[in-house]
Amino acid sequence: MKMVCGILIGVVALLMVAHLALAGPPSWDDQINMPSRFKVLKEFNDAAVLDKETGLVWEQSPDTGERTWVNALAHCYTREVGGRRGDRGDLIIGGRRLGWRLPTIEELASLIDPTIATPGPTLPLGHPFSNVQSSLYWSATSNASSTSNAWGVYLSGSGVTNDGKTVALHVWCVRGGQGIDGVQ
């Protein structure tokens, strides 16, 4: 009888853990093939896109202007997309700034599909984005060995690089994830 109760308790515990694992956030090592990776969000008036692979929400159409790194940070923090504002910079929960922000280098690079040929943009086939330039985009990630530089991603297929923060580059804002406050 004790053995049956022990097995039953073990099975119930295993089912509870399995349920929690299935309900958790997406894993960065999960690849979702097109066309189901991206979902245009009606709740954002179709102006934002959920990346089901990373759990991040991206602007559907990033601004085509170029900005210095500091201005790129401010642009995202004050951005309104789909009726959602980004200027809740004073609201930080669990170390994360709520609202729109500049993506980390890892988040921005996650959009690159290395199988897409240059000149790009090298986004996955069937993506729902518009106005994405085949150019260099800022990330919030400073270069640790030279804090006057920050990392960026070439959406032309050339990979990642770093540049001086006073250079004007493209900006693509994001919500969610584990992003960092890029202010140095």
C-alpha–C-alpha distance, residues 142 and 69, integer Å: 10
Lowest mean pLDDT among 29-33, 120-124, 139-143, 157-161: 29-33
Mean pLDDT, residues 71-83 taken together: 92
pLDDT tier for residue 27 given thresholds of 50, 70 and 90: low
pLDDT at 136: 96
pLDDT at 5: 43
pTM for this entry: 0.75
Question: Quick one: tokens of 11?
Answer: 């099975």
Q: To the nearest whole number, what is the mean pLDDT of the chain?
A: 80
* pLDDT per residue as tens digits for the range 124-150: 888 999 999 999 999 999 999 999 999
C-alpha–C-alpha distance, residues 100 and 9, integer Å: 45
Lowest mean pLDDT among 8-17, 44-53, 157-166: 8-17
* pLDDT per residue as tens digits for the range 86-127: 655 445 555 554 689 999 999 999 999 888 888 878 898 889
pLDDT at 19: 38
pLDDT at 122: 87
C-alpha–C-alpha distance, residues 63 and 66, integer Å: 8
pLDDT at 135: 93
Contacts of 148 (CB under 8 A, 6+ apart): 164, 165
